[in-house]
């Protein structure tokens, strides 16, 4: 797989790509960053990531955004190779960020900059030339300079947003309860239950 870098100048100049970008499919967008970490802050960042696994508040901050499908930060010290002897040790530790979400990446960054700026400053602020939001525009320019376009991007259901998926799951669970209760109900009871089911879930149907 090859990786192409799209510069901030190209992004903000509105350059028209000769082929569809490798980080969009349907309503989904993928965002990948690979940024250096100052050595003196590596221990702080590693400790923060470890504690975040056990602190519900830290998880809640990022999970509050229902347009995010997946998000991950990883500290990278070397580049892998099928032959362990040929692995490349990096001069600096790097922060590898991966995320998939609904809609354009600019809206995603707005949420980061204005709703959880302290979290973002803690994570990316350990790096180089980070603008420390808010406001959002300097952060968008920094991300545009450091983002990477993937050579391949796949999603099984590219037209399904996270809200659509959650809605479908809720309808499915309610429908299973409706079917399970139907065997114990008379015609009038089932009619009333079915009408309640439609009324409760009509926005998702």
- Which pLDDT belongs to residue 21? 55
Tell me, what's the pLDDT at 146? 82
CA 122: distance to chain centroid?
Answer: 18
* pLDDT of amino acid 177: 92
Distance CA(72)–CA(204), nearest Å, equals 29
Taking the chain, what is the end-to-end CA distance rounded to the nearest angstrom?
39
Report d(CA 68, CA 87) in Å as an integer: 33
pLDDT in tens, 15-58: 433 444 567 778 888 888 888 888 888 888 888 888 877 877 77
Q: Which of 92-106, 110-124, 147-161, 189-203 has the highest mean pLDDT?
A: 189-203
pLDDT for 22: 63
Partners of 102 in beta bridges: 28
Q: What is the pLDDT of residues 128-182, one digit of tens each?
A: 888 888 888 888 888 888 888 777 777 788 888 888 888 888 899 999 999 998 8
Using CA atoms, how far apart are residues 81 and 78, in angstroms rounded to an integer? 9
pLDDT digits over 176-197, tens only?
999 998 888 888 999 999 999 9
Computed on alpha carbons and rounded to an integer, the radius of gyration of the chain in Å comes to 22
Q: What is the mean pLDDT of residues 87-111?
A: 83
List phi, psi (to 5°) of 73.
-115, 135
List 78's β-bridge partners, or say none.
89
Q: What is the pLDDT of residue 173?
A: 92
pTM confidence score:
0.67
Per-residue pLDDT, averaged over 92-106, amounts to: 83
Task: Give 145's contacts (C-beta < 8 A, 6+ positions apart).
Answer: 7, 8
């Amino acid at each position: 797989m090859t990786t192409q870098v799209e510069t901030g100048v190209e992004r903000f100049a509105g350059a028209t790509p000769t082929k569809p970008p490798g980080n969009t499919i349907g309503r989904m967008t993928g965002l990948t960053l690979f940024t250096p970490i100052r050595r003196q802050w590596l221990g702080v960042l590693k400790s923060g990531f470890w504690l975040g696994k056990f602190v519900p508040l830290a998880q809640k901050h990022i999970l509050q955004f229902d347009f995010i499908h997946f998000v991950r930060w990883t500290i990278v010290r070397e580049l892998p190779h099928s032959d362990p002897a040929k692995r490349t040790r990096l001069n600096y530790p790097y922060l590898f960020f991966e995320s998939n979400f609904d809609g354009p990446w600019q809206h995603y960054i707005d949420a980061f900059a204005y709703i959880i700026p302290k979290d973002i400053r803690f994570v990316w602020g350990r790096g180089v030339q980070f603008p420390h939001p808010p406001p959002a525009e300097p952060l968008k320019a920094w991300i545009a300079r450091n983002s990477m376009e993937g050579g391949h991007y796949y999603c099984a259901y590219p037209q399904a947003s996270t809200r659509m998926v959650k809605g479908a799951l809720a309808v499915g669970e309610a429908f299973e309860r409706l079917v399970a209760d139907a065997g114990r109900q008379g015609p009038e009871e089932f009619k009333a239950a079915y009408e309640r089911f439609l009324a409760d879930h009509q926005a998702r149907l």
